[in-house]
Structure 1
Amino acid sequence: MDLRLLSSFLAVVEEGHFGRAAARLFLSPPAVTQHVRRLESEVGTRLLHRNPVSLTPAGARLVGHARGLLAAANAAMDDMAELVQDKEADVVRPLRVGIMGHGSAELTPAAINAYRRARPGVPVELRQLDFTEHVTALIEDSVDVAFVRPLPDDERVTADVLTTEQRIVVVPEASPLADARASGVRVADIADLPFFRLPSHTPRPFADYLYFNDEAQRRSRDFALTPQEVLTGVITGRAAGSGLKSFARYYGWPGAVYVPVLDAPWESSCLAVRANDANPEVRVFRALTIALAQELGPLVNR
């Protein structure tokens, strides 16, 4: 797909007028009109209503993809410009990707694989994050991007929401709540569950997420810093865990039962980066991940 066509399409959408879009792009109005027609021909449907200009349903769907593709292309060009300017750089710094738990479900491996295809010359290092590294892995510069949950509340970090899912609790098969695996429970039903404890330096947003915004430390005396530690404690009857619905697809442990929490607010997973990070590889990875989230989101948020 010719990126010039996407650029003209977005200019018309944002200006609401073919003539103003042409002036912004330093093109003639007929050229912009031809670009939009060619794009509509390529995708096989009308994208814009004319007189007045407005998006069709197909056009509205394409807008997010177009912005993500152009952002990724711009980031790639910026990266190449820096590479040309720094001819003495022989060692390519790897992109360090932090993943808390299963990250953003199917989006996590999709984004990493898309980046590897787009940037085959850049090594990718994966690092598993524990529950205390909600923001510290980025702030301490041990990773460049991080798949975490929930949305961080820290001005040093910028984050994009990728998935929004129903909450679940994880209980042992012997728990009375296990019978509600199909029907679900309410927050009041899990008020007395002995959820795992977290170290005192765990960021507050993650602690609130784990405890469903309950400030009280839970009754369990056991600590857990990873999903594997949570599940080991659950199946041995020591404590309960909580997470997002997709957790069950990635951690199908025998003896662990996943129960939907019907009235808990849905929670998000996100991709976090350091605020104002100038690393062009971070920009490329972020743009590709956002574009994939727009494309695959309906499959994950289920």
Structure 2
Amino acid sequence: MDPHLLRTYVTVARLASFSEAARELGYTQSAVSQHIAALEQDLKTALLTRRPVAPTAAGARLLEHARPLLLRLEAARAEVVRIAATPAQGLTLAVTATALDRRTAGALPHAGVTLTVLPRDEVPAAVASGAADLGLVDGLAAPSDPLNLPDVAPLTARGVAEEPVAVLLPEGHPLASRDGLRLGDLVDARWLDAPGAALPLDRLRTANGSAGFRPTLRYDGADLRTLATLAAAGHGLALLPLSAARAAAGTVAVPLTAPRVVHRTELLHAGALRGAAAELAARLDVTRS
């Protein structure tokens, strides 16, 4: 299959429009139609219905294969370009806002690192596409259990840190004097919806096995100080790694006692590790022990 045709197909399926895909890709609508027709002829089956534009059963199956394939092609290109452009040492690291603690940050080299903060679901794609050499992603998990990550491409994930989680409360909150809190007791509380800075509310619902956790304010940033300011002002609660919650000014961090979950951080990479990436992976393994 021609990857150019495959890329056009994925774009049309994602946007559900030939004209929108043509605009995004910089092609004419006629060229996009020709690409889809050529791919359907090659595979000898219809991939899209036209009104509305939607994948057929065969087209949906192709999408499952196409996205990882295109990511690996992008990764190959990015790695070759990076090696050619920067033969010296260098490391690009994609992280979530709460993936770095003092120990993992201390393992980073003191020079040649580019750090990019991304939403949790985008870190695996950045590593798979070659936009980042390594990823540090975090989330809620049972102790020693792996994270449930998007299946974007074959990636290696290794756990590098686990720590307790805590509920971030404003000072003076009725629950601020507690030694511990149960997640089930907070289902009807006011929560901050801050997926880029705190542990996402959908993960709280999954961990508690129930609905609830109603958001009262949406924060789309990744700055923990802003999150703490919102929590301190009474706009809602947030769940954070214990170390991050304790560092938030104007708030109180109360450990979560049930369910038994931890904040887990994993290192992601594609293929064999070399150079600075291998060095960092080795340091993080040492850090964990």
TM-score per shorter chain, which class?
A: 0.5 to 0.7
Structure 1 residues 127-166: aligned runs within 5 Å? 127-131=116-120, 133-150=122-139, 151-155=147-151, 156=153, 157-166=155-164
Report the CA distance shift for 1:125/1:283 in structure 2 as closer, same or farther (over 3 A): same
Contact 1:131–1:206 (CA under 8 A) maintained in structure 2 = no
Aligned residue pair count: 193
> For the residues of structure 2 that align with 1:276 and 1:195, how far apart are their CA atoms?
39
Report the CA distance shift for 1:267/1:146 in structure 2 as closer, same or farther (over 3 A): same
Taking only aligned residues, the RMSD between alpha carbons, in angstroms, comes to 3.1
> For the residues of structure 1 that align with 2:213 and 2:227, how far apart are their CA atoms?
14
SS of the residue 1:196 aligns to = strand
> For the residues of structure 2 that align with 1:92 and 1:210, how far apart are their CA atoms?
43
| 2:257 is equivalent to residue 259 of structure 1 | no
Larger RCO (CA within 8 A; separation ≥ 6): 1
TM-score of the superposed pair, with normalisation by structure 2? 0.56
> For the residues of structure 2 that align with 1:237 and 1:105, how far apart are their CA atoms?
26
Shift of the alpha carbon at 1:130?
Answer: 4.0
User: What is the aligned counterpart of 1:233 among 230, 233, 241?
Assistant: 230
Q: Which runs of 5+ in 2 are unaligned?
A: 1-82, 140-146
Determine which structure has the larger strand proportion and give its number: 2
TM-score of the superposed pair, with normalisation by structure 1? 0.54
Aligned position for 2:214: 219
- One-letter code aligned to 2:137: V
> For the residues of structure 1 that align with 2:115 and 2:265, how far apart are their CA atoms?
16
> For the residues of structure 2 that align with 1:229 and 1:162, how far apart are their CA atoms?
27
- One-letter code aligned to 2:181: V
Runs of 4+ more than 6 Å apart:
none
User: What is the aligned counterpart of 2:183 among 174, 184, 187?
Assistant: 187
Q: Matched residues, percent identical?
A: 21
Structure 1 residues 197-208: aligned runs within 5 Å? 197=193, 207-208=201-202
After superposition, what is the alpha-carbon deviation per residue over 1:243-284, rounded to whole angstroms, capped at 9, x for unaligned? 1211234x3312x11111112223243232233255543222
| 2:95 is equivalent to residue 109 of structure 1 | no
SS of the residue 2:234 aligns to = coil
